[in-house]
Structure formats: structure tokens, C-alpha cells
Amino acid sequence: MKTKLAELLGDELEYLLGHECDTIDKKLLQLPSENFVDQVFLYSNRNSQVLRNLNLLFGTGRLGGTGYLSILPVDQGIEHSAGSAFAPNPIFFDPENIIKLAIESGCNAVATTMGSLAILSRKYAHKIPFIAKLNHNELLTFPNKHNQIMFGSVDEAWGLGAAAVGATVYFGAEESNRQIMEVSSAFERAHELGMATILWCYTRNEAFEKGGTNYETAADLTGQANHLGVTIQADIIKQKLPTTNRGFTAVGFGKSDPAMYDKLSSEHPIDLCRYQVANCYMGKIGLINSGGASIGEGDMEEAIKTAIINKRAGGMGLIMGRKAFQRPMKEGIMLLNKVQDVYLNSEITIA
């Protein structure tokens, strides 16, 4: 495995696999394991139905029983546009191929729109866990806005057999307060009905770009977004991999402490990601990082790097869509399997 990784990543492999965190001690973290649900949620307020659905998520697919997650998310038909998302591979205009890709690649679950799941719920709800995405930022309004709006209800998601619901909050955006209240209420209802909850914790604000750097993916801002997400009782947090830090000080808002940057993180990507994990109750709420846009030939390398960073930081897995579905089905399956192999490889350990 390491030989193949070395061929793919070159000198970067040692940079990632040889790193040891001197920031937040790994002993402080709740790490993914086969008993993760019992260890974390058994004494929580989550009811028996939520525990069963969480175990269903963790028990499905190639990573079943490991405590790690590989989720296929396809909501770009709304979040971007169906044409821009599916033009590279038009078969995915048909949502059945989305579900087939998730099943055939051994994913733990498929996360997609209410309509995509509803049109196929009786055929597939018992074959792979559904994560019903409740809200979206539709980009047909001009000028575009950073605004997530509800496209369906929690009760509707339960009716189509979803094991979990997903939602996005654009923390920092003008409409974020409303989104927080809406999603908080939705997650409360989802837990009542026995579904797990996953929050896309993204930061959005034009003011977060300073001096040519976009701090929407800064470790300190995304870490705080994660902390708000676990506060509204998300069971799993989805977040972009951090690319920089010091967003609070660069933008000049909020509150920060020098130790956030000098002691709790460094410039190494694993340390930046560990700060995100720490803000998820030290890993008690799992962090899954997103796979990001497809860049073509470099997708496999970027996907493997992201998986190694997430795993060694203490994260719970990847939620990867465009890199997989914007290429032929067989290639998408192979890419997802290679990412899953990182989490199955016992030689890749916590940093």
C-alpha cells in the first residue's frame, strides 16, 4: 500500500505520514472505532431509533464496522446547476445512477436531494442508508446570495425512509441566524423521529476574503463553525479541509487567543484539521471532510491526500461527490475505493 501511495504522492507521502502532532494531543481525542456509537451516544439524549440509524450508517459498505464513513453526496444539481454538475457525465441527470454509484462503490450512505430520493425510495431505501438533504442554496436568483432555504420537511424525509437528514448553515452570511434556527428545529424533529443528523458547516461572507486570501476555509473560522454545529446537535459534521488559518485576526472580527495559532495549531495540514476535530467536542462528534471540486487528472492524488490528512488528524472519513460522479462510473468506483482503502489501512494511524 505504501509503495503505491509513494508512486502517487511522491515526497508528500513522508510529509503526511511522518508528521506527529505537537499541538492537541491525540490522547485527548475520541477516535473512530467499531464501538463508536456505544462509546459516544449511548448515554446521550439520542433515542433508540437514532442509535439504530447511526449504527446502520456505520455498519454499511466497505468501511462498515470500522467507525469510519465514506459518503457519496450529490446535491450540486441545485447548489451549482444540473448542467454544470452533470455535463461531464450526463448519466447522473438520472438519480438512479447516483444511488447505484454509492452502492457499487461500497459507500456507507448516499446523500442527495429530497426529489432524487423520493422518486426511488421504494426501490432503494432498504438497500443503502439515505441521507436526505433538506436545504439548498439555489443559484437561479440573480445576483446570487449566500442563503440556504428549505426544500422539504423532516417528516417527508422520514416518510421516504431516510436514515439521516442533512442540512447546511452558511455561518457568517447575512441569513445565518435564520438558518441556524431553522436547522436547529429540523434536527430536533429528526431526532424525535429517530433519524441521525449531519450538518454542512460552511462559512460564507465576502468580507472573509482579505489580501487575496479566502479565509472561508481557515482553520479558526471553520473550527468555530464546527463548534456551532455540534451545539445544535449535529451527530456528524461535514466541513471543508482547512487551507489556511488566522481568519479572525486577518478579517478583524470576533474573538481569538494567540494560543489558537501558536499552541493549538501549526501550518501543517494535519494540525489544521485536528483543530477542526477538537471543535467537534474532541472527536465525540465525527468530522467528515469534503472531497472538493474535480480538477481532472489530479483528482486521485488530491482525494488520497485529503483522506490521509483527515484520518491522521482524528477525523471520521470523507464525503466525496464530484471527483467520483464527474467521470465514468467505473473510474468513480475505483476512486472511491482507493479513498476507502486509506481508512482500511492499519498502517495509516493517528498523528
Instruction: Please give the positions annotated as active site.
Output: 238
Taking the chain, what is the end-to-end CA distance rounded to the nearest angstrom?
18
CA distance 64 to 126: 16
Q: Provide the 8-state DSSP code for 161.
A: T
Apex 286 CA angle, 25 and 196, nearest 5: 160
CA distance 194 to 321: 26
Please name which of 116, 134, 107 lies closest in space to residue 74, comparing C-alpha atoms: 116
Produce one character per residue of 303-314: b if its CB has 16 or more CB atoms within 10 Å, e if not.
Answer: bbbbbbbbbbbb
Alpha-carbon 162 to chain mean position: 18
Contact 329, 101 (CB under 8 A): yes
SS3 133: strand
Contact 96, 85 (CB under 8 A): no
Inter-helix orientation angle 299-313/269-278, to 10°: 50
- Whether cis (ω within 30° of 0) applies to the bond prior to 143 is yes
* Sheet strands (E) in the chain: 69-74, 109-113, 130-133, 135-136, 149-150, 164-171, 196-203, 209-210, 213-214, 236-239, 286-290, 317-319
